[in-house]
Amino acid sequence: MNSLVLLNGSPRGERSNSMKMLARVAEGWQRGGGQAPEMLHLARRSGFDRAVEAFAESDAVLLGMPLYTDAMPGVVKLYIEAIAPRVEVAAAGGRNPTIGFLVQSGFPEALHSRPVERYLEKLARRLGSAYAGTIVRGAGESIHMMPDEANKRLWAHLRTLGEQLAQNGRFGEAELKAVAGNERFSAPASALLSVVCRLSAVQFMWNPQFKKNGVWKNRFAAPYGPAIRAGR
Amino acid sequence: MRITILNGDPDPVSAFQQYVQQVAGRLADSGHTVTTLNLRDLDLKGCSGCFGCWLKTPGECLKRDDSAQVCRAVINSSLTVFASPVVMGFTTALLKRATDQMIPLIHPYFIIQGGEVHHRARYANYPAFGLLLGAESDCDAEDIEITTALWRRTARNLKFRSVFTAVADRSAWEVADELARVA
């Protein structure tokens, strides 16, 4: 396999965690002998339009996205609707590229992304595309907060996956499992977390930002109806 | 009972659009207060992942568009019906864009729910969740199953009370009456 196009489906565009992850897969792809990939942002009009054309021209497409309300972001579904004519092309004997996906979510467990993985696998079948697999990764929101050193193992997994895509046309099962990390918490761990989550101090991702933005006292605001009482 | 119908059909003259109107009419005739929002007519700028609705103006999107109207209608209903044809194996991009802008309805804090990490509720009451799907010609049973499974996850994370799914392959009256029982 030779040409790859990377589609960044994050509404945040260039500054997204999805983009950072796709860039590492691209490095592995080149290390595995593939040409330098084209990178397009679906959140930009020009990137979106080019991505529709590029689908027909590439050997392989890797579509990366953050999980938005437990599924693909709206702009990714819009892209999928825009390439709908490719279903008929494939049915008439035409060729569609090999397609792989990357789904990252802010939740720490991989399980949240499994239902959309099932959809994406079916999408590949619908398009008559060879399915390279779906890279699933939890705790994606922490990527931009961590020093690069802390992300090193993640980057190594993503490079390996890119290399596998270039050489075998698909991601290796063992590597997909490794990159996914924690699938779900064990019962004792979730019981412990359940207690710990009630401590406001644990919400370390959010509290400093509430304070910085001057909305600490207003953080439970409920502008459209009665608020839930605290502690629930 | 207050019922909000979010219609994600981009086509104003489709058979599914007519079906949704029939469902809404039947619900109104049965004495419910029905608000139908045809999403194609609203100005929805989409979520750009800025988290402003969580961290800068808690509970409200920073974008000045009609998403506040959608959120208000959802949270003040006993039942919200997400209606959409199934296109390329899932509900429309139009419905998904509107849903992406519903995260101000929940709070960023993490909680454990059913052994999984989810977000904390913001409101005291959330509606029941109805999913009304129009099966297009290229849609099979697996697509309906995958679509339903995805929306069950969304409903759980957005704190909807319960989930009811229907496919528009039966009479609109029958489906409306079932929806009314959920509300």
pLDDT tens digits in sequence order for chain A, 232 residues long: 689 999 999 999 888 999 999 999 999 999 999 999 999 999 999 999 999 999 999 999 999 999 999 999 999 999 999 999 999 999 999 999 999 999 999 888 999 999 999 999 999 999 999 999 999 998 766 666 666 777 899 999 999 999 999 999 999 999 999 999 889 988 888 888 888 777 766 677 789 999 999 999 999 999 999 999 865 4
Query: Edge-to-edge, what's the strand order for the sheet holding B2-7?
Result: B33-38, B2-7, B79-86, B128-135, B163-167
b/e string for B78-117 if b means 16 or more Cβ within 10 A?
bbbbbbbbbbbbbbbbbbbbbbbbbbbbbbbbbbbbebbb
> A223 to chain B: which residues are within 8 Å by CB?
59-60
Domain extent listing, chain B: 2-182
- Chains A–B, number of C-beta pairs less than 8 Å apart: 176
Give A30 to chain B, closest Cα distance, Å: 30
Structure token digits, residue B174? 């029958």
CA distance B157 to B152: 9
For A:44-63, CB contacts with B below 8 A are: none
- Mutation to test the A interface, candidates B82, B94, B95, B100, most A Cβ within 10 Å: B100
Q: Is the domain B2-182 a CATH 3.40.50.360 member?
A: yes
Q: Which domains does chain A have, with CATH numbers?
A: 4-180 (3.40.50.360), 185-232 (no CATH)
ipTM over 0.85: yes
Average pLDDT over residues B57-74: 98
Give B124 to chain A, closest Cα distance, Å: 4
Angle at B164 between CA B119 and CA B74, to 5 degrees: 55
Average pLDDT over residues B63-81: 97
CA distance B168 to A230: 40
CA distance A193 to B48: 30
Provide the mean pLDDT of chain B. 96
Residue A34: which residues within 8 A CB-CB, separation 6 or more?
A1, A2, A3, A4, A162, A165, A166
> B72 to chain A: which residues are within 8 Å by CB?
224-225
Indicate yes or no: pTM above 0.80. Answer: yes
Which pLDDT tens digit goes with each residue over B90-134? Answer: 999 999 999 999 999 999 999 998 999 999 999 999 999 999 999
